[in-house]
Every structure is written in C-alpha cells, then in structure tokens.
Amino acid sequence: MIRDIALGQYIPGKSCIHKMDPRVKIALTFLFIIFLFVANGYVGMGVMVALVIAILLFSRIPLRQYFKSLKAVIFVVAFTSILNLFYGSGRVLVQVGFMQITEGGVNRAIFITIRIVCLMLLSAALTFTTSPTSLTDAIERLLRPLKIFHVKVHEIAMMMTIALRFVPTLLEETDKIMSAQKARGADMESGGFMQRVKALIPILIPLFVSAFRRAYDLAMAMECRCYHGGEGRTRMKVLKARKSDVAITVFSLALCTGIILLNIFLPGAVR
C-alpha cells in the first residue's frame, strides 16, 4: 500500500542523540559531512568512520533502518566507485585493455564509497532522531541571520512544517481515492503509456480538490487563532542548548581540528 512508503522517517526514541538540541544536531551534521571530504588520509577517515558508527550506536535505532536508507543509494555508490577505480594515477595494479586500475584509483574508490555511505548514514541519523517539527524549528533559528536580507525565514519554516505535516495525510487520501476508483473498475495496472496517464486523472483531480479544501480549512483555522506571521511570536517549546550540547560541540570541533592537523602532518591517500 502507498501508505507504507517511509517518508519523513522520524523514529521516536529517548537516546542521547534524540535529546540533543536540533540546532546543534543540524550544525554538527553539516560539519561532519564537510569533514568527510576534508579527511584525505586513512587515519583521518578512520576517525570519521568511527565517529559515524558511534553516532549510529548512540541513536539506539535498529541498524536495519539504516541499512534500508542505504538501499536507495546502493546503485550510485557502486557506479561512482567503479568509475573512480579507473581514475587516478600511481602504480598500475591491473591492466584491462586500454584501461588501467591504479593504486590511486583504488584509494579513490574506497574513499568515495566511504564518503557517500557515511553521508547517507549521517543524514539518516539526523532525520531518524529529530521530529520534522523540531527540524524546521531549528532551521528557522539557524536561518534567522538571513532576516537582514529580508528573507522571510519564519514563513519559509512554517511552509516547510505544513508541507511535512500533510505528506502522510495526503498519502492516506490518495490511498482512499485509489480504492474508491478501483471499486468503480478503474484499471491502473494495464494499458499503454497514454492509457496509464489517463487513468491517473480520476485520482489526481479528487486529490487536488481535497488538498485545496484542506488548505482553505487550515488557513481558516490559523486565522481563527489570530495567526499573522512571525512578528512578535513566542514559542511554546523554546530551544535550549544544554551543557551536554556544548560539550558535544566542543568535542566535535576538537575532532575536526585533529583531522586538519592529520591532513597537514600525515601524507594523504587521496589528493
């Protein structure tokens, strides 16, 4: 059923990663992703991999979920790493026709694989442990400096929240409408391309109509509660960085400095 598709895959829990300030989580996720690409030696990369594994374990989310999120990129990973095998220079290991696999190529392939996999795992860890609402909350806070440039930060965040909120609702609605049209004999599984496109009309029109209806209802409900945008609005849940958040930030920064130092003093495998 269409409902089974995992979107906005927040998995509630009580781990220390769940409890972190979402702003810190987003900022650190970005920092770590950048440093996945900064690290260019095996030692530095080893540190990053250990860090990612530690995050996965601390999040107390079944590893199966993480494997599932990797499934989507398995093709990309395989493709790019195989392509990278043939780039690079250094000692020739295997000669296949005019193509050659070099030591540099192997290093590149290994690194690119680790980088993509870790990148996916990190972002999965972020979305698994942070509810969509606190995620948008945090994004709103982090983007606040952009207000100087008259970017409507609050409105953007509100739109994101609403969009995320309605994804499951609309999926459910789609499911219902599909069932109803199938009950009237709609055939969605056979026929040529044009026929299949035509078969979508009885689903898309009611879906749009109901999406608009919901939008009007929501707008009405928001106005009834005197919503008028971000100006002077206070929050029910004020984001507070705790001591542990500060400690983790300091630790992460130290780690990243370490990786920079490693890059300088240890010869990198990939340049």
Residue nearer to other proteins on the CB measure, 90 or 168: 168
Judged by CB under 8 A, the stretch of 160-168, 179-187, 217-225, 259-267 that binds other proteins is: 179-187
What 3 state SS string does 160-223 have?
HHHHHHHHHHHHHHHHHHHHHHHHCCCCCCCCCHHHHHHHHHHHHHHHHHHHHHHHHHHHHHHH
Which residue(s) pair with 100 in the sheet?
A: 95
CA 14 vs. chain centroid, Å, equals 20
Which is nearest to 34 in space by CA: 115, 145, 146, 136? 115
Residue nearer to other proteins on the CB measure, 94 or 204: 204
Q: Does 181 help bind other proteins (rule: CB under 8 A)?
A: yes
Out of 179, 195, 244, 257, the only residue in the binding site for other proteins (CB under 8 A) is 179
CB 141 within 8 A of CB 241: no
Q: Does 185 help bind other proteins (rule: CB under 8 A)?
A: yes
Give residue for tokens 């409902």.
Answer: 3
Out of 209, 215, 222, 266, the only residue in the binding site for other proteins (CB under 8 A) is 209
Q: Does 180 help bind other proteins (rule: CB under 8 A)?
A: yes
Q: Does 231 help bind other proteins (rule: CB under 8 A)?
A: no
Q: Does 214 help bind other proteins (rule: CB under 8 A)?
A: no
CB of residue 5 to other proteins, shortest distance in Å: 13
Classify residue 27 by burial, with Cβ atoms within 10 Å: 0-12, 13-18, 19+. Answer: middle
CB of residue 195 to other proteins, shortest distance in Å: 12
Out of 206, 230, 258, 268, the only residue in the binding site for other proteins (CB under 8 A) is 206
Three-state DSSP class for residue 99 = strand
Interface residues toward other proteins, by CB under 8 A: 4, 173, 176-177, 179-187, 201-202, 205-206, 209-210
